[in-house]
Amino acid sequence: MTREPVELAAAAPAKVNLVLRVGPRRADGYHQVATLLVPLDLGDEVRVRVSPGRRGAVRCRVPGRPDLDGPGNLAARAAEAFQLRFGVRDRIAIRIAKRIPVTAGLGGGSSDAAAVLRCLARAYRIRDREALAAVALAIGSDVPFFLGRGAAWAEGRGERLTPVRVPALHLLLAYPGDARLAIRAGEAYGWLDELRGRRATSRAHAASIGFRGASGHVRHRGRHRGAKGTARLVRELAARLHNDLEAPCLDRRPPLEELRRAVVGAGALSAIMSGSGPTVFGVFASRGAAERAATVLRGAGGPGLEVHVARTRQRLPGVAPWRSPRSASSRWTRRSSRPT
């Protein structure tokens, strides 16, 4: 590595769970999951500056969000874990341009952490994917996905990834900013356990296998050639959206069910909560339909409601040298590069 400071940048996309099946709680306190994750074109921008030969604590800043500054940010924890695992002592500074809603079920913090790992792996030429994956899993269950290639089924805690091909989907994301509707992941999983306990049932993790078998067309896009075939596949996927966490969360947060119905009423083919929520997303037949629905919801939504129109992407973005936005050569956010 050069002794000059190195500054790298990476896009950190949001994600949605098209499917989330949750098994029983494991002995280690986590749940077995089978989830179909897809990245979006909505995302944060992460910059990492490494100063070789200079010592100091990891610094993390999120302009406009001082509550996210400092060592508690998952991005800072990722940098510290990288230093520990690979024996790095150089000073690391992180700057995040935040666009993904926080604690929203969209994976923003995990994506930022993975972006930092990508940048540091590039800076120090680390090619040990297994070691990087272990660091990622230690930070959070969604981080391995963002360190992967792109759309995938994630199993176990989320570390066992099977790439899939998913057609481009036009989504509307509705995030209620009301703090009273916030949901922590631990709460969502705990509510699911309580609900299953009341019903005296334990839905087996194997139930997810039935969905995967039924949705095998996700892996074989060639069967659906042409606009009509793609439209049919999008409708089929929309009909199969599922989230085991949704029922207990909507039971505890009734306004989220009203929001879900509003998204469907605005023209979505289907709508569900993403991950542990509280964001609700709907699948639309076209971007135009999603934009029109966004206009309706923004006009009718209450205070704090954030509405975003996004498109799924097949692959996760790569890492590039950072360039000042004033530079005519600064095009990394518009250029695809090979993931680290």
Could you list the active site residues? 15, 142
CB neighbours of residue 225 within 10 Å: 9
Strand-pairing partners, residue 49, are 7, 93
3-class secondary-structure state, position 264 = helix
Tell me if 115 sits within 8 A of 11, measured CB to CB: yes
Distance CA 37, CA 310 (A): 15
Shortest CA distance to 6 belongs to which of 160, 89, 122? 122
CA dist., res. 202 & res. 29, Å (int): 16
Residue 331: count other Cβ atoms within 10 Å of its Cβ.
10
Give 159's contacts (C-beta < 8 A, 6+ positions apart): 133, 136, 137, 141, 144
Kindly state the greatest CA–CA separation across the chain.
62
What letter would DSSP give residue 26?
A: P
DSSP-based three-state secondary structure for 268: coil
* Per-residue tokens: 291: 């934009």
Look up residue 305 and give its two tokens.
């409601």
Q: Is the dihedral of CA 193, 197, 198, 200 positive or negative?
A: positive
Which tokens hold the place of 281?
């997303």
